[in-house]
């Protein structure tokens, strides 16, 4: 199996790039943030503080998270319910980020992720894919961009979904989430030593995709 790990902060364009790379190579795209979001949604729905380690850990046995694939891509299921659309709100983003700092949550979602990479060639995006989940991935990309560019991208995405948000608020959220994701003790966001850093600020999405594809083809060799 061949695995491409794409890590980086929120809004750097990981999912758009990963999706396009997966499509070009015929790989399965795995959006791991959606798994943390599903857990976050469960906690919000049940009034459980997403940062409360004891409460969240106690709730985990009641939670199931699964992935499915349709024409339009990855779907995520929370206790059997398709929550693919519902997990894309700023509230769920913050809850996902908060609960993802809890080691039991990371352990809970670990084998779902490694299982995908055992069965399929994958492009997997997240925060700790190259460092923790798939340390043997054949290609590791750390995709970055300035907080301002990432906040702008998030605003455009949410606007396109019909839920416009304030830019200043989004920028503050991005910065807060960066801090939460980078400073946590459990699998913090950082570039793997053997990763290639790609700064998407001066690049178009196509350029990012071409860069990753070039590196992937190099590593797959002539028969890949």
Residues that bind ligand DC (CB under 6 A): 10, 32-33, 36-37, 93, 96-97, 100, 126-129, 177, 181
For the chain, what is the radius of gyration of the CA atoms? 17
Shortest distance in whole angstroms from residue 96 CB to ligand DC:
4
Helix (H, G, I), strand (E, B) or coil at 43: helix
Of 160 and 223, the one with the shorter C-beta distance to ligand DC is: 160
Of 158 and 220, the one with the shorter C-beta distance to ligand DC is: 158
Shortest distance in whole angstroms from residue 219 CB to ligand DC:
22
Shortest distance in whole angstroms from residue 124 CB to ligand DC:
8
Which string of b and e fits 168-185 if b means at least 16 CB within 10 Å? eebbebbbebbebbeebe
Of 25 and 101, the one with the shorter C-beta distance to ligand DC is: 101
Of 25 and 187, the one with the shorter C-beta distance to ligand DC is: 187
Of 32 and 144, the one with the shorter C-beta distance to ligand DC is: 32
Nearest residue to 123 via CA among 9, 216, 8: 216
Name 214's bridge partners: none
Q: What backbone torsions phi and psi does residue 20 show, to the nearest 5 degrees?
A: -65, -40
Shortest distance in whole angstroms from residue 181 CB to ligand DC:
5
In order of 5, 31, 79, 92, 199, the CA distances from 14 in angstroms are: 10, 9, 27, 18, 11
CA–CA dist 82, 58 (Å, integer): 23
Shortest distance in whole angstroms from residue 101 CB to ligand DC:
8
The helix-helix angle for 33-45 and 90-99 (nearest 10°) equals 100
């Amino acid at each position: 199996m061949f695995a491409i790990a794409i890590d980086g902060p929120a809004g750097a364009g990981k999912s758009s790039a990963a999706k396009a790379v997966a499509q070009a190579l015929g790989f399965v795209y795995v959006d791991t943030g959606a798994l943390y979001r599903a857990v976050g949604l469960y906690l919000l729905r049940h009034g459980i503080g997403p940062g409360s380690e004891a409460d969240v850990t106690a709730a985990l046995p009641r939670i199931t998270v699964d992935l499915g694939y349709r024409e339009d891509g990855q779907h995520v299921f929370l206790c059997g319910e398709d929550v693919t659309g519902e997990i894309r709100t700023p509230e769920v983003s913050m809850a996902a980020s908060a609960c993802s700092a809890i080691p039991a949550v990371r352990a809970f979602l670990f084998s779902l992720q490694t299982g995908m990479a055992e069965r399929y060639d994958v492009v997997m995006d997240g925060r700790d894919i190259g460092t923790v989940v798939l340390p043997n991935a054949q290609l590791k990309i750390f995709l970055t961009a300035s907080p301002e560019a990432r906040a702008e991208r998030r605003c455009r995405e949410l606007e396109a979904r019909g839920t416009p948000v304030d830019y200043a608020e989004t920028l503050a959220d991005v910065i807060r989430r960066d801090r939460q994701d980078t400073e946590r003790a459990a699998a913090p966001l950082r570039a793997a030593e053997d990763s290639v850093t790609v700064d998407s600020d001066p690049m178009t999405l196509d350029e990012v995709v071409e860069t990753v594809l070039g590196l992937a083809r190099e590593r797959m060799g002539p028969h890949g």
